[in-house]
Structure 1
Amino acid sequence: MEILLLVTIVIIAIAFINFKDYLNHPHKRPQINTQEDAQEINQYQNPYKDQPQPQELSREEKIRNSEYGLIVGLLAKLAQSDGKVCELESELMENTIIDIANALLLQSAMYQKDEILGILHQIFNTTTQSVEELTTHYAERTKGQYKSRLKLVEYMLTLAYADGELGANEREIILDVAAYLEIENSDFNALYDAYEKFYANKAQEKSLQESYAILGVREEDSMESIKSAYKNLVREYHPDILHHKGLDESIIEKHTQKLQEINAAYEMIKAHKNAQK
C-alpha cells in the first residue's frame, strides 16, 4: 500500500514538472502552420456557391399566396365573370376584404391596415391565375377544413346572386370550385337548390314607403345619406366568410333574405329619386 502511494506521488510530481516546463518554454509547444491552413481554406470550393439563393417573398406575394389572398382571387374571378359588378356585389366584396384585412392584422403586427387593404384590392383587380390554379392552391392550404371549403362555396353563391340571378359563367365557376374542393354532392345540391328555390319565389316588391322604412331613412333625406344607410345595413348583414357555421345556420336563412330586402328597397328608392330629377 505504501509502495502504491509512493508511485502515485512520483507520477504526480513528474506531471507537474512537465506542465511547468511547458508553461515556461512556449517555443517547445507544437506550432500551427497558419499559412498552409489558410491555403487549404482558400482552395476549398463551396458546392453551394453558384446555386441561386431563394429570394424572400414580398408582402404582396405572401398575402396573394395565402389562404385569404386566394379567397380574394377566387371572388374576383366570380365577380368579374359576367362583365359587371352590381352595387350590392361591390359592397359585399368590400366588406369581405375588410374582414380579411382585420384577420391578417391579428396574425401579424408587421402590417398596417391601410397597407393590407391596398394589397387585397390589388389582388382583386389584378388576379391573372385561372380558377383551377387558385382553387388547387386553396385546397392545399385547407386540407381537413371541409367546413371552410363549404363556407366558401356558399358565399360564392350569395355573391353570384347579388344581382338577383345566377349567370351561366358564374354557375360554371362555382361548379368548378366545388369540384376541385371535393364538396360532397349532397351538400352542394342542398345549397344550390335552396338558393334556386329562394330566388324563384322572391316576394313581390314592397311599396316605396316600406322601402324607406326598411332602410330606416325618410323621403326627404338626401341620396347621399340614404346610400350611407344602405351601406351600413349591408355591412351589418353581410355573411362573414371567416366564421364557419354549419348548414343549419345557412346564409340563406340568416342573411340572404335580409340582404335582398335591403337591396330591393334601395333600388326602389334610387329609381324614385332619379325619376324626380
Structure 2
Amino acid sequence: MEILLLVTIVIIAIAMINFRDYLNHPQKRPQINNEEKDSELSEYQNPYKNQEQISSLSREEKIAKSEYGLIVALLSKLAQSDGKVCELELELMENTIQDIADALCLQSAMNQKDEILEILHKIFDFTNESVESLTRSYATLTKGQYKSRLKLVEYLLALAYADGELGSEEREIILDVAAYLEIDNEDFNTLYDTFEEFYAQKQVDSTLQEAYATLGVSEEDSMEHIKKTYKNLVRQFHPDILYHKGLEQSIMEDSTKKLQSINQAYQIIKKHKKVESTAE
C-alpha cells in the first residue's frame, strides 16, 4: 500500500514538472498547420448563408422574392404585354393582390395590410425583370408543387381571356411560363383548348332586363351603386390561386362562365345608362 502511494506521488510530481515546462516554454508546444486549417475553412459551406442573406433583405425585397411577389410581377408582365387592360381584368388583378396581401398579413401575424398593399402595387407597377427570370425564380420556390404551378398557368389564361380574346403577346408569355414551370404538354393543351373553345362560342347577348337580374340591381339604381355591385360580384367569383383555397377546383369550371355573364351584364347596363344619360 505504501509502495502504491509512493508511485502515485511520483507520477503527480512528474506531471506537474512537465506542465510547468509547457507553460514556461511556449516554443516547445506543437504547432497547428495553419495552411491545412485555412484550406478547410475555405472549403466550408455555411448552411445558413442563404438564410442570412434573406434576413438582411428589406421587407419589400423579401416580398418581391417570395412566391406571392413573383405572382404579382408575372400578372404585371401579362397585363402590360398587349398594352390594354379591360375593366374585368383590372378587377381580377386587384382582387388577387388583395388576397395576397391578406395571406402575407396572416404569415407575418401583423396587421400591416396597407403597407403590404403598397409594396405589392409597387411590384406590379415597376417590375423590370424578364418573364424568364421571374418564372424560373417561381419554379425554384415551388419544387414539388405541380398543382400550384398548373393553377398559375390556368389563372393567367383566365386573365388573358377576360376581354374575350387571347392576344398574341399574352399567348407567348403564357407559353413561356408553362415551359419554364415544366407543365406537361397534355395538361397545358387541355387548359388551352378549354378556354379557346369556350370563347370561340358565340355568346348570346342578354336583354337589358336579364342584365339587371344577373347583377341583382334595378334600372332605378344609380350607376355608382351598380358599379359597386359589379365589383362585389367579381370579388365573390374571381378565380383563386392561393394555396389555402381550393387548388383542386378548376378556374374554368367555377369562375369563368359566371364572371363572363356578370361582365357582359355590366357592359350592357353601362351602355344603356350612357345612352340614357346622353338622351337626357
TM-score (norm 2): 0.79
Structure 1 gaps of 5+ residues are 16-29, 32-46, 48-52
Give the corresponding residue for 1:265. Answer: 265
- Go from structure 1 to structure 2 and tell me whether the alpha carbon gap of 1:275 and 1:107 turns closer, same or farther (over 3 Å shift): same
The 5 Å alignment of 1:1-277 reads: 1=1, 3=2, 56-109=56-109, 112-242=112-242, 243=245, 245-246=247-248, 249-277=249-277
Max radius of gyration: which structure?
1
- Go from structure 1 to structure 2 and tell me whether the alpha carbon gap of 1:149 and 1:244 turns closer, same or farther (over 3 Å shift): farther
Q: Secondary structure at the match of 1:241?
A: coil
Q: Could you list the runs of 4 or more consecutive aligned residues of structure 1 that deviate by over 3 angstroms after TM superposition?
A: 3-8
CA contact (8 A) 2:78 2:160 kept: yes
Separation of aligned partners in 1, 2:229 and 2:98: 18
Structure 2 gaps of 5+ residues are 14-22, 25-40, 42-51
Q: Secondary structure at the match of 2:81?
A: coil
CA contact (8 A) 1:215 1:266 kept: yes
**CA RMSD for the aligned pairs?**
2.7
Separation of aligned partners in 1, 2:147 and 2:86: 28
Amino acid at match of 1:89: E
Q: Secondary structure at the match of 1:221?
A: coil
CA contact (8 A) 1:148 1:244 kept: no
State the 1:201 CA deviation.
Answer: 1.3
State the 1:245 CA deviation.
Answer: 2.4
Q: Secondary structure at the match of 1:209?
A: helix
Separation of aligned partners in 2, 1:60 and 1:6: 74
State the 1:54 CA deviation.
Answer: 6.3
Residues 93-113 of structure 1 deviation map (CA, whole Å, 9 limit, x = unaligned): 011001111111111135611
State the 1:203 CA deviation.
Answer: 3.0
Greater mean deviation of Cα atoms: 266-275 or 56-65: 56-65
Separation of aligned partners in 1, 2:5 and 2:104: 78
Number of residues paired by the alignment?
A: 242
Q: Percent identity?
A: 69
TM-score (norm 1): 0.80
Separation of aligned partners in 2, 1:166 and 1:260: 15
Separation of aligned partners in 2, 1:85 and 1:111: 31
CA contact (8 A) 1:151 1:244 kept: no
Separation of aligned partners in 2, 1:202 and 1:140: 41
Separation of aligned partners in 2, 1:254 and 1:180: 27
Q: Secondary structure at the match of 1:225?
A: helix
CA contact (8 A) 1:60 1:119 kept: yes
Separation of aligned partners in 1, 2:208 and 2:111: 45
- Go from structure 1 to structure 2 and tell me whether the alpha carbon gap of 1:111 and 1:67 turns closer, same or farther (over 3 Å shift): farther
CA contact (8 A) 2:238 2:255 kept: yes
Residues 68-126 of structure 1 deviation map (CA, whole Å, 9 limit, x = unaligned): 10000001110111111111001100110011111111111356110000000000000
- Go from structure 1 to structure 2 and tell me whether the alpha carbon gap of 1:5 and 1:149 turns closer, same or farther (over 3 Å shift): closer
CA contact (8 A) 2:241 2:247 kept: no
CA contact (8 A) 1:78 1:160 kept: yes
Amino acid at match of 1:57: L
Separation of aligned partners in 2, 1:6 and 1:134: 78
Separation of aligned partners in 1, 2:4 and 2:196: 102
Amino acid at match of 1:79: A
Residues 166-186 of structure 1 deviation map (CA, whole Å, 9 limit, x = unaligned): 111101110111111110010
